[in-house]
Amino acid sequence: MILPLVSEREEMMQNPALHYHQLSSYERSKMDSHALDWENEPSVYKEYPGGEVFPIPLEVKMPPVSVFELFQPQLREENPPPLSFDLLGQIMLLAEMLTGRARHANGEIWFRSVASAGALYPCELYVACPGIAGLSAGLYHYRVKKPALVQIRTGNLLPELFEASAPDESRLVFLVSAIFFRSSWKYRDRAYRYHLLDSGHLLENLLLALRAFSFAAQVESNFDDQRVNDVLAVDSRREACLALVRVPFTPPAATETAVPLSPADGLSRRSQVAAREKFYETIQQIHQATSSSLLSGRKKVPVDDFWSRYRPVAGQSDKEIAPPVTVNEVCSYPDVLLHRRSRRNFVSDEPLSTSSFHVVISLVAEAVASPSFASLGLTCGFLVGSVAGTEPGFYALKTADQSLTLVAAGNFLSHMAHACLDQRWLGKAAVHILLFTDLTALENAVGARGYRDVMLAAGRLGQRLYLGAAALELGCCAVGAFYDREAVEVLELPESTNLLYLLAVGPVKK
């Protein structure tokens, strides 16, 4: 029988996310060198000259708290304090701040409390504020260097952002965008993956900051793209909003009278970050394809079905996941934000302790099972190399019965390091956490926009792992660079599996 060939165009129409993910895959035999054009390096700081500047003091007034407590919304979200500029400034600072500087051959780089692929920092953070003590209603851009809120539009934004917002609604709305060229300058077509993963890292930091002050927040990625980008007044070929966070709050007694939104004259020019920006058609296409709403009556993407294809290794019993008894936390929140860095100097002769492994598993299991992640089909596996009392191998995290099952025995870490563009240091980590999904199933269940959601979720989980590792004084490093097919083949995963992200964790040289 001759099967009809599905043309590339047809595949793109039917499964745009899968198509993009395949198109942006790395293949060992097809890697070409791409010299960076340093003359045209994108700026990592967006500026709004002329906007009124509200400087944010470099001070956070909160008692230290365990970051593992912050990961659990039910423990924190009640009775937030009255909202003011002072408080909002602290939240912005906790969401993203500069943490350290390094020089390199072509200049200098400031690291931040969020990880970012290639330290290219494509994301921007805005807040639409309905008028609070110390800040009038308007749209503000968060300036991360010399922290400040810069007012870019005045007026009431809620009715502009959401068609169906109630007139008496009081909400802060945070908006996370990505400037495409910042990452595509280096990563070309693959950059859209990093726009989403990086946005997830920032989103998670923002949610933790809100929770630290007891605010409940709702993440929304299924918004009207054009409407929101118009309010942000960005040049949507260059920059686009990828996630919103709504935060309800009790308004001050005397609310201001509604002011109409000021015009957006000239603001879109601010989305340009280099003299000569290249537009990657692949990125424009996937962004466009994922801009249609999630399918209504969305179905849940089955996760545990995935593992039914594997037989547990004989003679091994499942590990039940329970909240860890001891957490040897060395550093608490917010200090942990300053200590979070990518650490790759893993030491292979020091196993990860049983208790730390337990904490890492719980952190991941809790997140993956939470309602906002569970519907996305985000699947997680652990590659164990050197963990005290745990046999090396590939372990399946089964969310339905909260267990960890050994599905393949052996130490696969150096094979995985080879599949990750030969990043050898990965072989010395104690454990790799792999996040994958079946993009065909995801798109069939929720539509192409699900790609944004699942990548944002992977980024959020990545940021949690970084912070959790820093709190335990462990090393952690994210990996978005892998030969996609090889990485899946190392573990003999079904061909329909798409690896989204990998994080390595373990003891590092002190």
Ligand X SMILES: Cc1cc2nc3c(=O)[nH]c(=O)nc-3n(C[C@H](O)[C@H](O)[C@H](O)COP(=O)(O)O)c2cc1C
Closer CB to ligand X, residue 201 or residue 358?
Answer: 201
Out of 44, 87, 117, 448, which residue is the one contacting ligand X (CB under 6 A)?
Answer: 117
Out of 194, 223, 307, 346, which residue is the one contacting ligand X (CB under 6 A)?
Answer: 194
Closer CB to ligand X, residue 162 or residue 436?
Answer: 436
Closer CB to ligand X, residue 137 or residue 457?
Answer: 457
- In sequence order, the β-bridge partners of residue 111 are 100
Does the protein bind ligand X through residue 336 (CB under 6 A)? Answer: no
Nearest distance in Å: CB 191, ligand X: 10
Question: Are 301 and 438 within 8 A, CB to CB?
Answer: yes
Does the protein bind ligand X through residue 201 (CB under 6 A)? Answer: yes
Does the protein bind ligand X through residue 303 (CB under 6 A)? Answer: no
342: left (phi > 0), else alpha (psi -120 to 50), else beta? beta
Phi/psi of residue 267, each to 5°?
Answer: -65, -35
Does the protein bind ligand X through residue 452 (CB under 6 A)? Answer: no
Helix (H), strand (E), coil (C) string for 14-28: HCHHHHHHHHCCECH
Does the protein bind ligand X through residue 419 (CB under 6 A)? Answer: no
d(CA 293, CA 445): 13
Strand order, beta sheet including 475-479 = 319-320, 403-409, 393-398, 379-384, 431-437, 498-506, 475-479
Out of 23, 53, 98, 119, which residue is the one contacting ligand X (CB under 6 A)?
Answer: 119
By rule CB under 6 A, what count of residues binds ligand X?
A: 19
Give every CB contact of residue 504 below 8 A, 6+ residues apart in sequence: 344, 346, 426, 429, 431, 432, 433, 475, 476, 477, 479
Closer CB to ligand X, residue 118 or residue 251?
Answer: 118
Segment lying near ligand X (by CB under 6 A), choices 108-116, 229-237, 305-313, 329-337: 108-116
Distinct helix (H) and strand (E) counts, the chain = 17, 16
Largest CA distance in the chain: 75
Nearest to 416 by CA among 389, 382, 378, 391: 382
Segment lying near ligand X (by CB under 6 A), choices 72-80, 150-158, 197-205, 380-388: 197-205
Each residue 470-499 as x (binds ligand X by CB under 6 A) or -, in order, gives -------xxxxx------------------
Segment lying near ligand X (by CB under 6 A), choices 80-88, 109-117, 211-219, 439-447: 109-117
d(CA 433, CA 498): 14
Out of 197, 203, 294, 490, which residue is the one contacting ligand X (CB under 6 A)?
Answer: 197
Does the protein bind ligand X through residue 416 (CB under 6 A)? Answer: no
Question: Are 228 and 161 within 8 A, CB to CB?
Answer: yes
Does the protein bind ligand X through residue 204 (CB under 6 A)? Answer: no
Out of 92, 115, 149, 331, which residue is the one contacting ligand X (CB under 6 A)?
Answer: 115
Out of 237, 341, 415, 485, which residue is the one contacting ligand X (CB under 6 A)?
Answer: 341
SS3 state of residue 71: coil
d(CA 435, CA 454): 10
Out of 77, 111, 252, 347, which residue is the one contacting ligand X (CB under 6 A)?
Answer: 111
Structure tokens at 257: 């009278």
Closer CB to ligand X, residue 202 or residue 406?
Answer: 202
Contact residues for ligand X (CB under 6 A)? 111, 115-119, 194, 197-198, 201, 341-342, 344, 423, 477-481
